[in-house]
Structure 1
Amino acid sequence: MVPALGICFPKVPLRSRPLQISWPPLRGYAYNFVETPPAKYCCGVCSLPLREAHQTGCGHRLCRSCADGLLTETNPQCPECSEPLDQKQVYRDTCCNREILNLHVFCPNEASGCCETMVLHKLLVHLDTCPYELVACHNDACSMHLARLYMPQHHGTCPFRLEFCKFCSAPVPCVQLEEHKQTCPKYLLPCPNNCDEHGIPRNELEKHLVQCALTEQPCSFHRFGCDFKACGKGVSEHEAGSVPQHLLLVLRKHTELQETLGQVQGELEQKASVFEQMQLRLERAERDAEHWGKLVSKNEASLTSTMEKVTSQTKRMQVLEKLWESSNGLSTMSLESSRSRECHDNLKGVRQMLEVVKTRLSTLESLQSTVGTMEKTLQTHESLLPVHTQRLADTDLRFQLLETVSCSGRLVWKLTDYAQRKQDATTGITPSLYSQPFYTTTFGYKMCARVYLNGDGVGRGTHLSLFFVVMRGEYDTILSWPFRQRVTLMLLDQGPGRKHLSDTFKPDPTSSSFKRPTSEMNVASGCPMFVSHGVLESRTYLKDDSIFLSIVVDRTGLDDL
C-alpha cells in the first residue's frame, strides 16, 4: 500500500487559472487523495499519481513531463525495466488519464478548515468558490491576500478602497484623499485678496480674480504706455477722465510705428539692392570661372606638346655629343665642326623653347591660383545667398504684419505662390502656414488662421484643411473666457459669380481650444476637409497662382473696448 500523500504545491491564482486541468509541465499530482491510488496509477519516475499519463512500448506508465525529461537524455531507458525508450512508441494513455481524473481528493485548503472532497477533474471548479482559498484584494494598490471567507470584511477597512471626493465626486483611494485635496478642481479655497466671497472652487479661482473688486487691473491703454492700476471701478473712472492723455499716447505709438515702418522699408530696399549686386557679381564670377577653365585646358594641351618636343630634342643632343667625342680625323673634325655649329644652333633654339615653356608654366600656375581664389569667393557668395534670402523674407513678413493687422473681427488672407507652397507642404518642408494676427476689436481677442495646403488628419493628400486659432493677447485679463463667438471659415471665389465656400461653427466652451491661452496660441480648431483639391483647383477659387481665405468672427455681445 502506498501511503496517502498530503503535499500541497503552490496554486495558480484564480484570475489566471484555466477552466480545464492543464498546468504547466509538472510531475504527478501531489494532492491528498481520499483513497490511496493503486500502484498502476503512479509514475515510475516521480512515484506520484500520473499527470497526463503516457504509456511506453514496454507497457509502463509515466507522467508526460517525466517522459519528456527521459527522452531528452542521450540513451533513454524505462525506469521500471531499463528497456530502451523510443519516442515513437510513447503515446498518451487516455483511458488511464480519465480514471485518474475521476479519483476523489481532499481540498488543498483542508488544513485551513475546508472539509470538502471532490473528483480530481472538478478540483479547480471547487477552488473558484472555496471560502478558504487565498484570494487577492480587488483594490489595485493593495497587496493583501486573504481567505475568500474574510475578504468582504477586509474590503470594508482596506486603506486602498475607493471613496468619492465630497467636492468633485471623483473616486479616490482612501489613503490619497488628503493628497487629492491639493489638486481637486472643486476644492473650496479663500480669495487671495481677502474679499467678502469665501469658498471658491479651485478651477474658478482664476476667473474670480479677474472679476474680484479687490484685484488691481491695469488701464486698457497700458500697451501704449499708461501705467495706471486700480481696483473695481477705478480703472473705468480713470479711462473716462484721461481720454486726452490716452489719445496722446496712441498718437505717439502710431508715430513710432510709422518710423519703424519707414526704417523697415529702407532696410528692405537696401537688402534688395545688395541682393541684386551679389547676383551680378555671382554671374560675373561664373563667366570668369568658365573662361579661365577653358584657358587652363588649352594651356595644358600646349604644355604637353612642348614637353614632347623637349624630350625629342634632348635625345638628339645626346646623340650629337657622342658623335663629337668619338671623332679623330681632320676631315671628320671639319665635318663635325659644321655639325657642331648646327647642333649649337639647335641647342640654342631648344633653350629658347624651354624659356617659353617656363614662362607659360608660371602663367599657368598664376591662373590656377586665381581660379582657386575665385572658386572660394563663389562658394562664399553661395553660402551667404540663403541667409540674405531668409532675411528678405523675414523683413517682408514683418512689413506685411505691420500693414495688414485687422481689428474688425474679419481676416482676409491672400496666399500667393500656391503651387510651390502646396509642393512644400506635400514634401514636409512646410506642412502648415499661419496668417497674420487679427482682433475682434482694438482691445479684443487676438486670433489667426492656420492652413494645411495638402490637408491634415483625415483630409491629408485630398483636401485643404483650414483652422481657427485663439492666440495669447495683451488684453486677455479683461476679456470673458472661454471664447464663445460664432466663427465662419471662407474660401473666396475670385470669379464674377462670387460663389464663396464657407463653414460656420459655434465654439465648444469645454474645449481647451477656446479657453484663455497659457502659451502663444491654443490648439487649432476647424475643418480638416474644408475643400477638396479638385474643387479648389478646377474653378475660379485659384487665380494667378493665388487664393483668398477669410475668417469672420461674429462680434454680437462683445463690449467694444
Structure 2
Amino acid sequence: MKALNLFPSTCQIYDHFNYAPHGGYHVKNLASLDERYKCPVCKLIIKNGVQLICGDRICRLCIPRGKIDMQCPECSQITLVSQIVDDKGFNNDIQTLAITCSSCEWSGELKNYQNHLEQIHNHYQCSYCNETFSSSTILNQHQETTCSQMPVNCILHKYGCEEKILRCDLSNHYLTETHQRILLLYILQVLINISDRSQPLTQLDTNVERTTIDLLTNINTIATTTLKADKYNVQQEGIKEMISIMSNGIESLNDDSQILSDELLQQSLLVEAINQRSEILKTSCEESNAILHAHTMNMDILQQECRSLKEMVSENESISYDGTFIWKITDVKEKMIDAESERQPSIYSPPFYSSPAGYKMCARFYMHGDGNARRTHMSLFFVLMRGSNDTVLHFPFKYKVTFCLFDQTGQQNHIINSFRPDIKSSSFQRPQSNMNIASGIPKFVPLAIIEQNDNPYVKLDTMFIKIMVDFEDLPKAILPYALSLNPGLPTECQHKMIRQEIERQAQLQSETTSEINLTQKKEIIHGSSKKDG
C-alpha cells in the first residue's frame, strides 16, 4: 500500500533554501535595457558572459556548482558544464553599454562600472560572513537567501522548535532529537486531525508525551503494551494506526526505491550500450571520411591527368612539322581584360616543329604589351623550346622568324613583321630548361587598331596569327605573297607556288634590267649622233 502524502517531504520543505548566487551587475536603469544584456538566471546585467549550447548567455557565476549539466532558463535545453564556453565577442560588445549606478547618480559605460564600485561603493559588507557587495540590494538578498553564517529560524519554529541556527548548520539541526520529536508531534497532530479524533493533541498530558518519546526508541514495546485506562486505549489505537500507516509507507518507499534502483541500473546499461555504439559509429565515420578523402584526392589526380591529356590531344591536333604555324586565339576580349589587369599578362601558343625531328618552338603573346610597349602595343615573341632531338641539331638558332596578323575581311591588309635572331643571345642557344627566354617584336601592333570597333583583325572574338620560320632565306619582297597564300592549301603546294613566284619575279626583274640597259644604250647612241652632226 502506498503511503499517504499528508505532509511535504523533507526535500520539499528545505527546497526554498536553495538559491543561485547573483553573478551579474545591479544597475538603476536595468528595466530599460535590452533583454539580451540580462542574465536569465540572476536577472541582472551579464557579467563575464558565457554561452550555452543553445546560444543563450548567462553570467559565469550563475553556472551551478557541483553539477555536470544545467537547464537553460529560456528554452529548457540541457547543456553540459564542459560545453559552456566564454563569449568573448559579447563581452567586448557589452563594455560600451550605458548604465547608471544602483547606489548613486553615477552614469557611464559598463567597462568603468567595476572600478566605480571598488572605489566608491566598497563598504557594503555582510556583518555575518564579511563578504563585500556592490549594493545594499544585493547585500540584503545575500543575507535573506545565501549567507551561510546568518542565524535563521527552524522551519518548525511555529510548532515549538524556537532555536536559532546558522544557515550552514541547518542540515545537522534537522537530525537532532529535539527537531525529530517536534516533527513527530506535528505528524501525530496531522494524523489525529484527519482521523477526526475528538481529543486534540494539545490536551494530552505529560504521560502521553513521554509515551510518544518512548515510541521512537522502542516501537515493539509500545505496540505490545496494554493500557488499562480507557482514556489511553483510544490514544494507543491511534498510535498503532499511525505506526501501521508509517510502516506501510516505509515498505512502499522501499519498493519504490528498489524499482528506481532497477530502472537506474537498466538506464546505466543502456547509456553504456549507447556510448559503445557511439564509439563504433564515430570510428566508422572516421573511416568513411578517410576513404572519401582518398577518393577525392584520386578524383583530383584523375581530373588533372584528364586535363593534361586533353591539352596534349589539343596540341597534337594542331601540331605543325614544317616551321609554319597558324595560331587561332579565341575569347580575345576576355584574354585582353586578363592581360590588362595582369591576372594573365601573356599566353603561349601550342608548340610546333621545323620538321618531325627538328627544332621545337612556340610563340608568346602579350595582348596588352610588355615592357616599354605596355598599354600601347601588343607584343609578340618567339620561344625556342627544349626538344628531344636538340643534341643533333645545330645551334645557335639563326633562321629568320616572321609574324603575320591576318586580315579576316579578305582585303589582304595583313600586319607583317619579322626579325633575325641575335646568335649571341641566350634566347637562341641550345635550351637548358623547358624553354628559353622569349625574344621578338615588342611593338608588333598598336593597341589602338585592335581596340577599334569592327577592326579587320578580330572577328567573332577570334584572331589568327601565323608564325613562319624562314629556312630558305626568302627574299623580303616574296614575304607578302607567301603569307597571303590560302592556308588551306597543302604545304607542298604552297612551297611550289612560292618557288614559282620567286622565279617569276626573278624573270620579271631580269627583263626589266634588260629593257633598262637597252634604253640606256639607245640614249648613248642618240647622244653620240647629235654630237657628230
TM-score grouping bracket, smaller chain normalisation: 0.3 to 0.5
Bigger CA radius of gyration = 2
TM-score of the pair, normalised by structure 2: 0.35
